[in-house]
Amino acid sequence: MEISKEKIKDIEKYTGHFHIDVKRQEKVYDEIRENAKGDFDFFILTIFAGIIITLGLVVNSSAVVIGGMLLAPLVWPILSLSMAIIKGRSRLIQGSISTLLKSAAVIFVIALFLGFISPDYALQGSEFLSRTSPTIFELLIALAAGFVGAFVIVYPKIGAAIAGVVIAAAIVPPIAVMGISIAHGNLGMAGGAFILFMSNLIAVTFSSSILFLVARFKGPASEKGQEKRKSNIRWAIVLLFVMTLPLLLITSKAVKESNRQNMVRETIVAIIPNSTITSVEINEESEISTVEITLQHSGNLTEKQINELRDILSIKMKTVVIPRITVVPIIKIWEREVENK
CB-CB contact of 177 with 191 (8 Å): no
Mean local confidence (pLDDT), 120-129: 89
Rounded CA gap, 181 and 197, in Å? Answer: 14
CB-CB contact of 298 with 264 (8 Å): no
Alpha-carbon torsion (155, 91, 206, 131), positive or negative: negative
Q: Residue 337 — very low, low, confident or very high, per pLDDT cuts 50/70/90?
A: very low
**Model's pTM, two decimal places?**
0.82
Mean local confidence (pLDDT), 17-27: 79
Alpha-carbon torsion (187, 188, 190, 195), positive or negative: positive
- 6 to 18, 165, 264, 312, 326: CA distances (angstroms): 20, 39, 55, 61, 67
Neighbours of 17 (CB within 10 A): 8
- The amino acid present at 138, given as its one-letter code, is E
**Closest of 192, 193, 208 to residue 240, by C-alpha:** 208
Distance of CA 340 to the CA centre of its chain: 62
Rounded CA gap, 219 and 196, in Å? Answer: 31
- The amino acid present at 208, given as its one-letter code, is S
Rounded CA gap, 103 and 233, in Å? Answer: 24
Query: What is the per-residue pLDDT across 254-269, written as a single tens digit (0 to 9) for each?
Result: 888 888 889 988 988 8
Q: Residue 104 — very low, low, confident or very high, per pLDDT cuts 50/70/90?
A: very high
What is the gyration radius of the CA atoms in the chain, in angstroms? 26
What pLDDT is attached to residue 14? Answer: 58
Length of the chain: 341
| Residue 153 DSSP SS3 | helix
Task: Please provide residue 288's backbone torsions phi and psi, each rounded to the nearest 5 degrees.
Answer: -120, 135
Task: Please provide residue 330's backbone torsions phi and psi, each rounded to the nearest 5 degrees.
Answer: -105, 120
Mean local confidence (pLDDT), 205-228: 84
Alpha helices in the chain (DSSP H): 5-15, 22-35, 40-58, 62-71, 75-87, 90-116, 126-129, 136-154, 160-183, 187-214, 223-271, 303-317
Q: Write down all domains in the chain, each with its CATH number in brackets.
A: 5-219 (1.20.1080), 256-329 (3.30.70.1350)
Residue 317 has pLDDT above 80, yes or no: yes
Query: What is the per-residue pLDDT across 50-103, written as a single tens digit (0 to 9) for each?
Result: 999 999 999 999 999 988 988 889 989 999 999 999 988 888 899 999 999 999
> What is the side-by-side order of every strand in the sheet holding 288-297?
275-285, 288-297, 320-329
What pLDDT is attached to residue 335? Answer: 46
Residue 207 has pLDDT above 90, yes or no: yes
